[in-house]
Amino acid sequence: NMLDHVTGSGTGVLGDTKQFETTLQSGKYVLSDKTRGKGIETYSANNRTTLPGTLLSDSDNYWTDGAAVDAHAYAQRTYDYYRDVHNRNSYDGNGALIRSTVHYSTRYNNAFWNGYQMVYGDGDGSTFLPLSGGLDVVAHELTHAVTEKTAGLIYQNESGALNESISDIFGAMIDDDDWLMGEDIYTPGTNGDGLRSLEDPSEYGDPDHYSKRYTGSQDNGGVHINSGINNKAAYLLAEGGTHYGVNVNGIGREDTAKIYYHALTHYLTPYSNFSAMRRAAIQSATDLFGASSKQVKSVQAAYDAVGVK
Ligand code: ASN
Ligand code: ZN
Ligand code: CA
């Protein structure tokens, strides 16, 4: 029932104070939000690898485990984004329980969606801080669940790169003050860097044009590499610019997000490649804004600019 819902507060990975929903259950507070869909729950693996681990609890509802606070608060923010902007109730569209586990393994420098839940390492403290401290990271991981339940893009080669790119695009839409991924939790000793850039993928060695795509077998056929091609197209669509001599008029983040969400949920399929992504985005812009809209023209120009026909 809703009567045991309580607003908790605490400090995140970066020391910032925030509020989030918790539940009072048998005399203690638990990191369980029963106000969104079928719930949002946050667990600790206590530096082991058994999942989901133990549901986090606290005696006074002031939470000092930064990794847990951020995993919980940022899952709530991502849920709210999909609900408020795309009218989607959780990752399956039917209120699915969103479960996260923090403190996975020891000094673990990654985060992932395992098909059932999100999982976050603490990082080693120099390469990474606890990974849930990045809103874009949390949004990226939860978007893998949305993709799995919708287009089902297979996680290798071009469909896998599109799967990764969709996660980066919505990561950047939800954590919307830059076009970098992971900047808040990556290399705490270095300012201004991140894991990937949608604005300029080449800054991190990733391709910004189809002619530069990786065709080897590492990284499931370059899923975190070739994502740069579609990331650059999405960036150009939102912000505009001239790339390899092709000019794109930016249409803004909002319309860009609408187009990619519509493409993901109506047109992309498990084996979609980059060319199918272009067609899906053009058809989505047509559905949403009309065949002769500026949005359709910009989608065409953005994919021309990255060499995808
Ligand atoms: N953090 C990575 C990702 O979400 C984990 C993975 O390789 N799947 O893409
Ligand atoms: Zn990913
Ligand atoms: Ca970011």
Residue 3: predicted pLDDT: 64
Q: Give residue 119's pLDDT.
A: 99
Q: Tell me, what's the pLDDT at 2?
A: 53
Q: How many CB atoms lie within 10 A of CB 242?
A: 11
Which protein residue's CA is at the shortest distance from atom 3 of ligand 1? 112
Indicate the pTM of the whole model: 0.98
> What type of residue sits at position 266?
H
Cα 67 to ligand 1 centre (Å): 18
Contacts for 91 with CB less than 8 Å, ≥ 6 apart: 82, 98, 142, 145, 146, 148, 149
Catalytic site includes residue 21: no
**Catalytic entry in 72, 224, 243, 262:** 224
Q: Do 230 and 277 contact (CB within 8 A), yes or no?
A: yes
For residue 111, which ligand has an atom nearest its CA?
A: 1
Low-confidence stretches of the chain (pLDDT beneath 50): none
Digit-coded pLDDT (tens) for 176-222:
999 999 999 999 999 999 999 999 999 999 999 999 999 999 999 99
Q: What is the pLDDT of residues 127-147, one digit of tens each?
A: 999 999 999 999 999 999 999
pLDDT at position 208 is 99
Catalytic annotation present for 141: yes
Phi-psi sector, 184: left (phi>0), alpha (psi -120 to 50), beta:
alpha
Ligand 1 pocket mutation, candidates 104, 112, 219, criterion most atoms within 8 A of CB: 112
> Distances in Å between the alpha carbon of 241 and those of 238, 249, 251, 258?
9, 7, 11, 20
Predicted confidence at residue 180, as pLDDT, reads: 98
